[in-house]
Chain A
């Protein structure tokens, strides 16, 4: 029940105004989801540095959570080099060389993890694109690419942790935004749980993220993982997935959820509706295309 958007810059890969672009695009389709807004933003990675973000409670309760997080980080020999408490979240940058999945699962048990990655930072909260920007200064974000989401809360509460994008719990730098509904959710989830994966929420978008991340960790290419996802997932969906250097999309066989893409020499942009794309190019008539039913695709950043 939502709107999605993604953007990838081709020529100036490390310092593009990804934040500003996604705010405009999500503002353009805010009617599809007024309750919460989120961004998965990608910087260029730095050696052995991990970015982590957690939801923390207000006041003293939040301080306790932060202490628990720090204890756990210390236990895993992750050295905090930077930290910031902002909005509903706490953000850390740490030196870390160990097993990320183990660290992630351990952290899940002491706090609500928003995202972990070398490049990825997920910012999401209740309110409109501009509301979230006001708190988190998404506007100032410069990087390589990103995806975003506006949410109409129906089956779960209006809460920051129910917002998108979803991080692929346990897998660095993979995020998903999704419009639609996966109807064989529990079947798929039980299959993945049997193989040892943990789920942070009951949201079907997290399932897609973990499903794809699992395939990628087994050495599959993103495009192959997307191809099988269309047959494995039952339901209506249009989703975008981002990794540290790619954005991919997939659409169900009935094309029940919209998606429009645009490409020029400078960038590739994809969104639920053309009105979001036009927000980047006011007053212009864009040459766009709508991916057909059951289609998928990826764009890679030229590094």
Chain B
């Protein structure tokens, strides 16, 4: 038995020691904990960790298999995302006890704070005392046992799982209802109580999901496709897309869901041009070798940076929205081009990890597919706050795509219209976010960058918060960013255009002196190397491509991604449709497209007289429209319109 004294050892050192003792199978006593945060985070071995006093936030968070015992109280986020093992708390627990657990036993002898068991998937949370406000909020599975009073709004918007209450049910939340308790479930509860020596002689009431909000009540009728180029036509009035929209709404009586991003014309990178006439650039097969393109990103806090062969990344897109074959093709292409791939919302696949050179692992509000093991094999961790296609809203995955396999990986019931929560259970402000980021760093021994994905909204504030909170970089997504499913009006009208986003983010960083310190990766309608070069000249450190990579890999831009019947096998989970996707061939197409970007970025950099892509700057740019000039404060130079769209031919 080892002893760690937190009066003399930092939590960071202590967690490193605990993990080492874990690997050796040696139990640990933690003395003088004094309610410090993150005790035990990242432990993946079956040892006993005895905390002699109170622990702070995220005690036993992001762990698997440990047996924790805490003699007194714990703060917010007890056992966050715990996969297996157990935690016994002798005192009270703060808010969101057992948040997002996926299989552990969490026992609190005292009371538990609000939103206990939020987005939990599996496992048991037992409170011998009372719960508070919204216990079981948005839970997907597992069980919560409350021996005392339930608190208000019990089971608010729960999707799956069971809640058992021994005391009074103060009130039920939306879409929760009370049913009879089957005898075998009572036996199982009693066994659990006996196992953890919690005496209780009363009876239980059972609360489950009422099933009223799991699916949209009316399905959108099949319509003929109105492809992107028609949808984005010049007239806003009664065009084909508008007519189709009205017809569908007259049947379903609600907003419509579709794929892709804003189709309406917006000020964009195409409204700015390079100050020099580069239409005469000729194909130079060596230009790529002449120009410095290598880009490192994310070393601000001492973690190993992501190393890109050019300032381009694959944007986060989920396995779920996209087929497994598509995700694998993207991972393969990213490796061939020496850039990074991103998991998006749906968790990490073994094959994806294997074929991607560098893989960023994204953590979303629902913690779908999120776990310590994949964190520890990722090259970067990313907290998703929002995305350009639908800022302020969570992801949507329609029932057709929530197959058995997808449901298993995400830890949710099969066949629901999945609407991910719009905000994180444990990030309600910049102050909580600091503690969350530190939890990620503790879990991975501070080895990898931690970034944030932000949909462009209140950029000036958001970027400052990101900088202050110490993120290694920001993936900033403008209004033109696409998605697999979102409300049409949200796609078109919510958010800030990509061009404004990059400008405002630079202004924001300048205000706090953070430019150059925290890189911005710009995304949202980046369609080629020309856009990439403009974005970098405006201050982005790199760009990320999602839609254009998908199109390179065979997408026909029909906007029907949400339906799940993608004819080319990309936005589908149906094996019959996925069969049509030739993974190695499409990987090669995506790779070739990425290489075309490389050549364009290099050729433009060269033509503008620079040796390194990061020498591009605002002095290289002019604005072609008054709007773009207003947004970027670049000189308005309509005379450049003639040469604005250089026909740069692909080398070779």
Contacts and interface: CB of A to CB of B under 8 A. Distances in A.
Contacts of A260: 75, 94
B133 A292 contact: yes
A248 B431 CA distance: 22
Nearest to A150: B431
A290 B465 contact: no
Contacts of B57: 273
B455 interface: no
A273 B34 CA distance: 11
A135 interface: no
B35 interface: yes
B137 to A, nearest CB: 11
B435 A285 contact: no
A30 to B, nearest CB: 11
A247 interface: no
Nearest to B57: A273
A285 B91 contact: yes
B34 to A, nearest CB: 4
A293 B132 contact: yes
A179 B91 contact: no
Given A282-B7, A285-B53, A288-B92, A181 B113 contact: no
Contact of B53 (A32, A154, A283): A283
Interface residues of A, number: 39
Contacts of A283: 7, 31-32, 34, 53
B431 A33 contact: yes
A146 interface: no
Given A255-B113, A293-B132, A277 B95 contact: no
Contacts of B94: 258, 260, 274, 290
B98 to A, nearest CB: 16
B56 A275 contact: yes
Interface string B54-87: 1011000000000000011101100000000000
A155 interface: yes
A273 B75 contact: yes
A102 interface: no
B430 interface: yes
Contacts of B431: 1-3, 32-33, 152, 179, 272
Interface in B595-616: none
Nearest to A256: B428
A13 interface: no
A26 B428 CA distance: 20
A153 B514 CA distance: 14
B429 interface: yes
A286 interface: yes
A289 interface: yes
A278 B35 contact: yes
Nearest to A284: B53
Contacts of B151: 292
Contacts of B36: 275
Nearest to A253: B133
Given A1-B431, A180-B429, A289-B92, A279 B34 contact: yes
Interface in A113-155: 152-155
A294 B468 CA distance: 30
Given A31-B435, A289-B92, A274 B75 contact: yes
B268 interface: no
Contact of B465 (A154, A255, A284, A285): A154
A260 B73 CA distance: 11
A91 interface: no
Contacts of A255: 95, 113-114, 132-133
A31 B36 CA distance: 11
A88 interface: no
Interface in A229-244: 236
Contact of B73 (A179, A258, A279, A286): A286
B461 interface: yes
Nearest to B460: A155
A10 interface: no
Contacts of A279: 34
Nearest to B152: A293
A33 to B, nearest CB: 7
A285 B71 contact: yes
B464 interface: yes
Contacts of B541: none
A82 B461 CA distance: 42
B37 interface: yes
A181 B72 CA distance: 31
Interface SS of chain A: helix, strand, loop or mixed? loop
B198 interface: no
B153 to A, nearest CB: 10
B428 A275 contact: no
Contacts of A275: 34-37, 56, 75
A155 B461 contact: yes
Nearest to A282: B34
A180 B429 CA distance: 8
B266 interface: no
A288 B74 CA distance: 10
B32 A292 contact: no
A267 to B, nearest CB: 17
A53 interface: no
B80 to A, nearest CB: 15
A238 to B, nearest CB: 11
B434 interface: yes
Given A258-B94, A285-B54, A277 B430 contact: no
Nearest to A179: B431
Contacts of A286: 54, 72-73
Contacts of A31: 37, 434-435, 438
Interface string A30-54: 0111010000000000000000000
Interface string B142-160: 0000000001100000000
Nearest to A289: B92
Interface string A192-211: 00000000000000000000
Contact of B429 (A257, A284, A288, A290): A257
A82 B375 CA distance: 60
B133 A293 contact: yes
B543 to A, nearest CB: 27
Interface string B558-589: 00000000000000000000000000000000
Contacts of B35: 273-275, 277-278
Contacts of A284: 53
Contacts of B469: 152
A272 B468 CA distance: 20
A274 B468 contact: no
A278 B7 CA distance: 12
Nearest to A35: B468
B390 to A, nearest CB: 21
Contacts of A258: 75-76, 94-95
Nearest to A157: B511
Contacts of B92: 288-290
A273 B56 contact: yes
The 10 closest A-B pairs by CB, nearest first: A285-B72, A274-B35, A278-B34, A275-B35, A32-B431, A1-B430, A278-B35, A293-B133, A255-B114, A256-B428
Interface of A: 1-3, 31-33, 35, 152-155, 179-181, 236, 254-258, 260, 272-275, 277-279, 282-290, 292-293
Interface of B: 7, 31-32, 34-37, 52-54, 56-57, 71-73, 75-76, 91-92, 94-95, 113-114, 132-133, 151-152, 428-431, 434-435, 438, 461, 464-465, 468-469
29 contacts: A1-B430, A33-B431, A35-B468, A152-B434, A154-B464, A155-B461, A255-B113, A255-B114, A255-B133, A258-B75, A258-B76, A272-B431, A273-B75, A274-B35, A275-B34, A275-B35, A275-B56, A275-B75, A277-B35, A282-B7, A283-B34, A283-B53, A286-B73, A288-B73, A288-B91, A289-B92, A292-B114, A292-B132, A292-B151
Given A153-B464, A289-B92, 11 more contacts: A1-B429, A31-B434, A32-B434, A32-B435, A152-B469, A155-B461, A260-B94, A278-B34, A288-B91, A293-B132, A293-B133
